[in-house]
Structure 1
Amino acid sequence: MNRIFVTGIGTGVGKTIISACVTTALEADYWKPVQSGSEEGTDTQTVRALVPEGITVCHPEAYVLKEPASPHLAARMEHVTIDTAEIVRQAGLLQPARRPLVIEGAGGLLVPLTDDILTLDLVRDLGAGVIIAAQNYLGSINHSLLTARVLQHAGVPVIGWIFGGDYHTNEDDVVRLSGYPRIGRIPQAVEVNMAFVQQQAQLLSAPLKALLA
């Protein structure tokens, strides 16, 4: 599976750090096709600073929106039309050698990209397998299992879960009830830098490659 889509159970659950770790573990390329809230910096800039130079290519976004809002709302406010067919076309151009491509989504699966198209629709059109980023907080079991159920009903292949933050037994319940495997977990760090990402990537490498085989 050469396209890996990283989604989250909500906003702020560590998708970008997880994307950097997965990208490093697989020596893949990275792409965030739709970025909103760009005035606060972009996720591509963050990942570029965390992955090894000379291995990973961090491709430029297809759409960059200033407003920190859902892509469909930010695009509406900035008079931009997001064309998901164009995103799929660009994805094909980014993989001429079938190199793995880690694609980071904006928010969760049911975040609208346009008035009619959800992130889930784009995942299906890309033919990507999904890694779900999750953290423990009040309500996270519900958010996690809702995300899993949506993917199950949509028939989208799921690689597994990567958890972040402090460990909680909730993780075990989410894995058991969803039926999707735990790839690993990324602990809370005082400082997230390239050394930390490389350390976590080494731990994720074997389970990731086994699940992708």
Structure 2
Amino acid sequence: MKRKRELLEIKGSEIRSAIEELTVLVKLKPNDHINLGSGDAKIPTLPFLSICNLVLQVLDKIGPTMTVLRKDIHQNIQRMEKVLESDPSLYSNVVEMLKKEEAEGNSKLRTSCSRAFVWLTRSLDFTVALLQNLTKDFGQNMEQTVEESYNTTLRSWHGWISSAAYKVALKLVPEKKTFISLLLAKHENYDTLKDEIETLISLLVPFLEEVHSVLGSYRLDRIKCP
């Protein structure tokens, strides 16, 4: 995973790299018409974790506001990587991790891979909402953009402790122009970035719909944190 992250960092913007990872992920899917509620569902682990690592890089650009979320994402990625390394062939499919923990009765423990997968998915939900709001209304300030994205994706799953920490950190977001300039690849302009963001969203949304179907089938979709 370390080598993969290094390669992604030199290829261009995080948005462009995420598009490439999602394209790979779609190609790895064995059947677009599988029953996602069954044990036959497939979510390739490495591409999924690579996309989550790219989300970390995007959140870094928002600054201290996303420190708590960023830390959680990093820990959840590490948790899933550790299980993947224990049996790379078996756990090349995230669903195998979910099946194992469900059979053992520990899928909802705080340190489970199932729980890590839930929160990584929700972090991707937040990222999609953030990018959608970013391109939808350029006149909206960054604080409003982040707050609206948080309210529609993460807020309902956070308890008062997490929500309170977020509200304090919200005051530290950068200006929108600064954030966008940090997302731009070398020699890239805003129109090109916007096109790439829209392409990423068009790939990520249907993928996340499938992931949420899997979470629902394993009864993991209602997990909350303090």
Q: TM-score, normalised by structure 2?
A: 0.25
Judging by fraction of residues, say which structure has more helix.
Answer: 2
When Rg is computed on C-alpha atoms for both structures, the one with the higher figure is 2
